[in-house]
């Protein structure tokens, strides 16, 4: 199973529809569970990050392989991401959890818990859009793993 723990709710209908489409497409390959942690909005960004981090960590079990999405993480090609996902499922991790922080990023506690730090580039994306991008890449990974023609 894949779990995506992210901060905040998606408000834009086009993003909701895109995410739902990729959830449906991934159904033959794995179950995907999306958990939305509450976005904290006070004037103290560090406090916000810590509070969001506590909630994120409450959804992560000890036996899960955690991949945090971070600008400073490692960039992978789509085939490399597919290999990472396939290797973790094959070699003892039945659950992979992706973590997407809110607009202020991830707490150090969440970053320290992550087994892998993944970057989709040096650009900054809205965290709601990042969820759709991640869903597409997960779907693409399963197409690559199963030798389907989607990835070119």
Res 27: pLDDT: 96
CATH code of the domain covering residue 80: 3.40.1280.10
Rounded-to-integer distance, Cα 104 and Cα 19, Å:
22
Residue 55 exposed, middle or buried by CB count within 10 Å (0-12, 13-18, 19+): middle
How many domains is the chain partitioned into structurally? Answer: 1
Domain residues for 104?
2-145
Instruction: State the DSSP H helix or E strand holding residue 143, giving kind and residue range, or none if neither.
Output: helix 127-145
- Pair 73, 105: CB distance under 8 Å: no
Reported as a pLDDT band with limits 50, 70 and 90, residue 32 is very high
Q: Say what the pLDDT of residue 152 is.
A: 63
pLDDT (0 to 100) of residue 92: 85
Cβ(36)–Cβ(8) under 8 Å?
Answer: yes
The answer to whether 103 touches 128, Cβ cutoff 8 Å, is no
Q: Is residue 10 assigned to a domain?
A: yes
Asked if pLDDT for residue 143 goes beyond 80, the answer is: yes
Whether 129 has a pLDDT exceeding 70, the answer reads: yes
Residue 151 lies in a domain: no
150 located within any domain: no
Domain membership of residue 112 (yes or no) is yes
Side by side, the strands of the sheet bearing 32-37 are 32-37, 2-7, 96-100, 65-75, 116-119
Q: Establish if 123 belongs to a structural domain.
A: yes
Report yes or no on 152 lying in a domain: no
User: Would 103 be classed as within a structural domain?
Assistant: yes
User: Nearest CA to 130 among 1, 45, 4, 27?
Assistant: 4
pLDDT tens-digit map of 60-87: 999 999 999 999 999 999 999 999 999 9
Question: What's the mean pLDDT in 29-47?
Answer: 93
Q: Tell me what the mean pLDDT of segment 16-21 comes to.
A: 98
Within a domain: 28: yes
């Amino acid at each position: 199973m894949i779990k995506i723990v992210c901060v905040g709710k998606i408000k834009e209908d086009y993003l909701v529809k895109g995410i739902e489409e990729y959830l449906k497409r991934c159904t033959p390959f794995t179950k995907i569970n999306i958990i939305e942690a509450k976005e904290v909005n006070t004037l103290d960004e560090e406090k916000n990050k810590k509070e969001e981090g506590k909630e994120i960590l409450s959804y992560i079990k000890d036996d899960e392989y955690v991949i945090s999405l971070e600008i400073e993480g490692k960039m992978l090609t789509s085939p490399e991401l597919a290999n990472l996902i396939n290797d973790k499922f094959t070699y003892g991790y039945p659950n992979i959890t992706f973590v997407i922080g809110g607009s202020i990023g991830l707490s150090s506690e969440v970053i320290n818990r992550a087994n892998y730090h993944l970057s989709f580039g040096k650009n900054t994306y809205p965290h709601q859009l990042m969820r759709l991008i991640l869903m597409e890449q997960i779907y693409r990974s399963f197409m690559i793993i199963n030798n389907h023609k989607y990835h070119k």
